[in-house]
Amino acid sequence: MIASLPGWVVLLIAPVVVLHVVIGIVTYVTLLERKFAARMQSRIGPYRVGPHGLLQPIADAVKLMMKEDVVPTAADRPIYNLAPIVFLLPCMLIFATIPFAPGLGVADLNIGILFFLAVSAMEIVGLFMAGWGSNNKYALLSAMRAVNQVISYDLPFIFASLVPVLLAGSLRLGDIAAAQSGLWFVFYPVIGQLAFIAFIASTVAAENRAPFDILEAESELVAGFRVEYSGMKFALIQLGEYAHIIGSSFLGALLFLGAWAGPGPEWLGPVWFLIKAMFVFLLVTWVRWSFVRIRVDQILALSWKALMPATLLLLIATAFVVVWRTNGGV
Amino acid sequence: MTTAAAPKRVELDYAGSERLTMNMGPQHPSAHGVFRAILQLEGETVVDVDAVIGYLHRCHEKLSETLTYAQYPSIASKTDYVAAMTSEFAYVRAAEQIGKIEVPKRAQYLRVITSELQRVASHLLWLGTWCLDLGGALGGGATIFLYCIRERELVLDLFESLVGARLLYGFYQVGGVRYDVPADWVKTCRETVDLIDSRITEYEHMLEDNPFFMARVQGVGVITRELAEDVGISGPLLRGSGVDFDLRRAEPYSSYEDFQFIVPVETAGDCFARYRVRMVEFRESLKIVRQALDRLPDGPISSRPGLKSVAQTRIPKGEAYVRVEGARGEVGCYLVADGSAKPYRMKWRGASFSNLAILPHIVPGHKVADVVAIMGSVDPVFGEVDR
Amino acid sequence: MAASEVQTVADVRANRDARRTGGTDVIVIVRTILSAMRMTFLNLFRKPVTVHYPDKTRNYPDRYRGLLALVYEKDTGEEACIGCRLCEYVCPPAVIKVEMLKSEKRNYAKSFTLELYACEFCELCVQVCPTDAIVMMKSFDMPTTDRRELLLDKDRLHSIGLTFEQSWATGNKLRDMQGPPKQAKPVAHAPAAAEGTTVS
């Protein structure tokens, strides 16, 4: 049905639809996280706004839109104002390459995963602009930590994502998903599980989620690089952060958990995809609410001394396995 | 006594970079109250720390000169508001020592029970807020914080059925205590104590099995034994640095000599050592409470008649300094009585006030993230610091 | 009685450390991470401890120190307060102001103001009252938007006394509990259950 429409129509409508769906998912994912975290802490999450708190994200959105936009006097105006947008844009752009069903996506590029990884690393620019433009020592300190950390952890993230690419033999996300129709990559003996764990660990760190959230560190730097933002700009930054996490969850579900593969008719595919992405997201959330954070030098040590060599070795091992498989071994 | 070591000022040979003066201001999520620390940073390393206090000064000492011995104990709670009965204990003991007033055995045991339960409640709050500081308000720290608060609520429920109030009591009076236990309080107390014991084991596992937590607290904020004795800190800070000194053992008061308990001492002197000391103190306090409940004697709860008028309690001329082992250290009350119903002069020795003096000695050289870990393990309460 | 029991805590921890057998560091780290995550996972299935206030309230214990109120005498129905001002003198933050009205048989309080916004809820006024006139209630439910509504005069104090449930403590009971030489006995109270009760 999608293929029968003229290309330019799809090109106009698809991004709009995907954008709205993504924003809807991101908004309600905040509620999911709050309820999940609350249950782990022996309490109930949002409960009063709407039945069982279902209207809470909408109330939050309305509140943020109505808030006064306070700009510090000495802030670097152009950079300060532009930073939320520069932060949000890559986080939304990563959804362009994810196919939600065979053939259903904005643009299933040939270099899909390369686009995803490259664009998702661009949010650091927005982050640093926010820290610098705020004219606040706390924000600057946190922005400097952020640049350190995100760059350090993007490398293991890339290496861990390249393992399914090697196993599938293509950079195109649709092909990787299709190659898992027999066996999901996470069930691949040893390599699959190790790559999945490395993916989760580097996702948690590259997105500044606890226990690697030294850059926002509420008890030290209050809100980190976001400290001087209020109102709609803060909403944009929050939106960007959660969109990045959800995007990585979708990527994880696609690379390792077989994307839309699941029992039932074919139109149920996107639903399974969503469920698997939520599973990855809840895994990340579970890790977040279980650990205290570690210091910045320990985070960097973990990345450069442990995670990156490990994922590099894993990639080389995967290459050997692939070669051995294509040359006749089973 | 050797002279105190000068505060350590670490000079880093950091070519070309500037010193950043950062204010961990009085309004800060992990300042444990209102505390201003002016940090000099080079990169991420703290080079110097300047502590500014006094934001919570409420003139307790002047206030005590205008209030009688009957009125002040409920105000005394407000110094160390987390473990409120400790301050009341010091004040009424000082008055009793000057006036040579006997306290009946049952009242002494009740004082011991409530003191130890206060210690448990205070340490629960310490553990929760420390993990909150380490792990963030939205992160694993918050999880442990809520678990600890859940347990602290049980202890506060016990106090509520005994006294009627949850946080600031007014339980002690000169000559004994004000309230006697309700009929089923002993049973509920025992059940609560057992529950808290099992839950503390869970938290210990959750924290000590956690490599992130251990990486944050081991080797951080080391107080050597000489420094500890020089600066004059007390409580778990002292015992975590290898000095075996606990007032309940050194100068037993209020029937503490009747109970069997261990005084935990660790030699490492870092945040982890102080954490271990407090975790063992939990268990020992619960042990003391169980022993006291088993042997609670009958009798009156006060050696003075019930309070009928404000100037009923007169203490003859004299002065005394009385100290009590609080959750944070040695809480002392120096009282000068002049024969009337109001003291002539009262001075508090706040445990946290003296403990905060250690900060300029141990913080320089650490990273910013360690500052909160150290502050949390020092466990100040600013009601005690500023009075 | 207790021998010197100062020990380092090395032997207290001996059992726990013995649990940790050898093994490479990575295995230990992975195992410990999983055990911490198991802790939070288990809590996912414990019942939340939230009480849905104000739909449900918890049972307050009998001695709860809530709002203050003036009461009437049980037998005659007259105001119990005789305007003796003992509560005014004992109050630490001095929030009570009383004026006495002399009469033939007994005295009354001409005016009685209590500044609830400054009250410490220390129960000293209840303790010293000779006629059990001022008592505390088992509830604190009096939210207002204007601080002047918390400046309670005699009529409001009486109406609070009629609206809420009174807590156990009155002056005579407290003085009997404290004073020697009578043998103090533990007083029976209603058990404070932890379940929430629905507010009628």
Task: Decide if C65 contacts C123 (C-beta within 8 A).
Answer: yes
Angle, vertex CA C11, rays to CA C6 and CA C16, nearest 5: 140
Our CA-based measurement puts residue A244 at a distance from the nearest CA of chain B, in whole angstroms, of 18
Q: Rounded mean pLDDT of B251-268?
A: 88
Which of chain A's residues have a Cβ under 8 Å away from the Cβ of B143? 37, 40-41, 289-290
The one-digit pLDDT tens for each residue of chain A (330 residues) are 455 667 777 778 888 888 888 889 988 998 988 888 888 877 888 888 888 888 999 998 899 889 888 888 888 889 999 999 999 999 888 888 888 877 777 777 888 888 988 888 888 898 888 888 888 777 787 788 788 888 888 889 999 999 988 888 888 888 888 888 777 888 878 888 889 988 988 888 887 776 777 666 544 556 677 778 888 888 898 888 889 989 999 999 988 888 777 787 777 888 888 899 999 999 888 888 777 677 777 778 888 888 888 899 999 999 988 888 888 655
Q: Is the per-residue pLDDT at C192 higher than 70?
A: no
Q: Rounded mean pLDDT of B45-61?
A: 87
How much is the pLDDT for C26?
66
Task: Decide if C163 contacts C67 (C-beta within 8 A).
Answer: no
Task: Decide if C25 contacts B282 (C-beta within 8 A).
Answer: no
How much is the pLDDT for C193?
43
For A211, the closest chain C residue by CA position comes to C33
Report the 3 state secondary structure along C112-159: EEEECCCCCCCCHHHHHCCCCCEEEECCCCCCCCCHHHHEECHHHHHH
Which of chain C's residues have a Cβ under 8 Å away from the Cβ of A40? 40-41, 43-44
Q: pLDDT tens digits for B136-153?
A: 654 566 678 888 888 899
How much is the pLDDT for B321?
94
Which one is predicted more confidently, B187 or C3? B187
Q: What's the rounded Cα separation, in Å, for the pair B165 and C69? A: 17
Which of chain C's residues have a Cβ under 8 Å away from the Cβ of A286? 37, 40-41
Q: What's the rounded Cα separation, in Å, for the pair C5 and B288? A: 14
User: Cβ of B139 and A211 within 8 Å?
Assistant: yes
Q: What's the rounded Cα separation, in Å, for the pair B253 and B324? A: 8
Nearest Cβ partner of A43 from C37, C41, C48? C48
Which of chain B's residues have a Cβ under 8 Å away from the Cβ of C180? 104, 300, 302-305
Cα C48 from chain centroid (whole Å)? 24
Which one is predicted more confidently, A263 or B340? B340
What is the CATH topology of the domain spanning B20-381? Cytochrome-c3 Hydrogenase; chain B (1.10.645)
Spatial CB neighbours of A149, under 8 Å, sequence gap ≥ 6: A205, A206, A208, A212, A214, A215, A296, A299, A300, A303
User: Cβ of C49 and A42 within 8 Å?
Assistant: yes
How much is the pLDDT for B17?
59
Q: What's the rounded Cα separation, in Å, for the pair B283 and B287? A: 6
For B139, the closest chain A residue by CA position comes to A289
**H or E stretch covering B76:** helix B72-76
Q: What's the rounded Cα separation, in Å, for the pair B90 and B323? A: 6
Indicate the pLDDT class of residue C9, thresholds 50, 70 and 90: very low
Q: Is A272 contained in some domain?
A: yes
How much is the pLDDT for A209?
74
Nearest Cβ partner of A290 from C36, C46, C52? C36
C-proximal residues of B, 68-127, CB under 8 Å: 70-72, 74-75, 104, 106
Q: Rounded mean pLDDT of C107-124?
A: 90
Least confident of A8-22, B1-15, B33-47, B107-121: B1-15
Q: What's the rounded Cα separation, in Å, for the pair B261 and B264? A: 9
User: Closest Cα to residue B131, out of B212, B40, B22, B194?
Assistant: B212
Q: What is the pTM of this model?
A: 0.82
Burial class (CB in 10 A: 0-12, 13-18, 19+), C4: exposed
SS3 of chain A: helix, strand, coil, percent, to 5: 70, 0, 30
User: Cβ of A294 and B216 within 8 Å?
Assistant: yes
Which of chain A's residues have a Cβ under 8 Å away from the Cβ of C37? 286-287, 290
Q: What rounded mean pLDDT belongs to chain C? A: 77
How much is the pLDDT for C200?
36
A-proximal residues of B, 72-131, CB under 8 Å: 131
Our CA-based measurement puts residue C40 at a distance from the nearest CA of chain A, in whole angstroms, of 6
Nearest Cβ partner of C50 from A43, A287, A290? A43
How much is the pLDDT for A238?
87
Our CA-based measurement puts residue B171 at a distance from the nearest CA of chain C, in whole angstroms, of 9
Indicate the pLDDT class of residue C12, thresholds 50, 70 and 90: very low
Q: Is the per-residue pLDDT at B94 higher than 90?
A: yes
Q: Is the per-residue pLDDT at B379 higher than 80?
A: yes
Nearest Cβ partner of B307 from C32, C43, C127? C127
Indicate the pLDDT class of residue B96, thresholds 50, 70 and 90: very high
For C43, the closest chain A residue by CA position comes to A40
Which of chain C's residues have a Cβ under 8 Å away from the Cβ of A41? 43
For B220, the closest chain A residue by CA position comes to A295
B-proximal residues of C, 105-144, CB under 8 Å: 120-124, 127-128, 130, 136
User: Closest Cα to residue B175, out of B258, B119, B111, B115?
Assistant: B111
Show the tokens assigned to A248.
């990585």
Rg (CA), chain B: 21
Domain ranges of chain B: 20-381
Q: Is the per-residue pLDDT at B105 higher than 50?
A: yes
Q: What's the rounded Cα separation, in Å, for the pair C85 and B222? A: 57
What is the number of CB-based contacts under 8 A between chain B and chain C? 184
Which one is predicted more confidently, C93 or A108? C93
Print the domain residue range for C86.
Answer: 59-182
Show the tokens assigned to C198.
């629905």
User: Cβ of C178 and B178 within 8 Å?
Assistant: yes
Print the domain residue range for A260.
Answer: 69-326
Indicate the pLDDT class of residue C25, thresholds 50, 70 and 90: low
Q: Is A309 contained in some domain?
A: yes
Q: How many domains does chain C have?
A: 1
Q: Is the per-residue pLDDT at B168 higher than 80?
A: yes
Spatial CB neighbours of B71, under 8 Å, sequence gap ≥ 6: B310, C90, C91, C92, C124
How much is the pLDDT for B331?
92
Indicate the pLDDT class of residue C1, thresholds 50, 70 and 90: very low
A263: Cα within 13 Å, side-chain hemisphere: 0
Q: Is A33 contained in some domain?
A: no
Indicate the pLDDT class of residue B213, thresholds 50, 70 and 90: confident
Q: What is the CATH classification number for the domain harbouring C76?
A: 3.30.70.3270
Of all residues in chain A, what percent carry a pLDDT higher than 90?
A: 8
How much is the pLDDT for C6?
40
Q: Is the per-residue pLDDT at C148 higher than 60?
A: yes
Q: How many domains does chain A have?
A: 1
Q: What's the rounded Cα separation, in Å, for the pair C103 and C101? A: 7
Nearest Cβ partner of C191 from B184, B206, B208? B184
Q: What's the rounded Cα separation, in Å, for the pair B232 and B160? A: 35
How much is the pLDDT for B66?
92
Which of chain C's residues have a Cβ under 8 Å away from the Cβ of B168? 120
Burial class (CB in 10 A: 0-12, 13-18, 19+), A20: exposed
